Copies of this chain bind each other. A is one copy, B any other.
Amino acid sequence: MTRLQNKRNAILKATLELLIEYDLQSTSMTRIATHANVGMGTIYNYFESKEALVSTLFNEIHHAMITTMFTNYPEQAGIQERFFHVWRLKCKYFIEHPQEFIFVERFTASPYVKPNIDKTLLNTLAQLDIMFEDAKQQGLLKQLPKSFFIPIVNGSLGALIRSHVMGTIVLDEDAIELAIHACWDAVKS
Task: Give the nearest-CB partner of A146 in chain B.
Answer: B169
CB of A162 closer than 8 Å to a CB of B: yes
| B152 lies within 8 A of A179 (CB) | yes
Partner of A182, one of B160, B162, B186: B186
Partner of A109, one of B24, B105, B147, B153: B105
How far does the alpha carbon of A160 sit from the alpha carbon of B159 in the complex, in Å? 13
| A22 lies within 8 A of B111 (CB) | yes
CB of A60 closer than 8 Å to a CB of B: no
Partner of A185, one of B23, B106, B175, B185: B185
How far does the alpha carbon of A158 sit from the alpha carbon of B160 in the complex, in Å? 13
If over half of A's interface residues share one DSSP class (helix, strand or loop), that class is named, otherwise mixed; here it is: helix
How far does the alpha carbon of A147 sit from the alpha carbon of B133 in the complex, in Å? 32
Give the interface size class of chain A: 35 or more
Task: Give the nearest-CB partner of A166 in chain B.
Answer: B109
- A112-B23, A147-B168, A163-B147 in contact; A152/B182 too (CB < 8 A)? yes
12 additional A-B residue pairs with CB within 8 Å, beyond A152-B159, A155-B155, A158-B159: A105-B109, A109-B162, A145-B169, A145-B170, A145-B175, A148-B175, A151-B162, A152-B156, A152-B182, A155-B156, A156-B156, A185-B188
Chain A: residues with CB nearer than 8 A to chain B?
A: 21-25, 102, 105-106, 109-112, 142-145, 147-148, 151-160, 162-163, 168-170, 175, 178-179, 182-183, 185-188
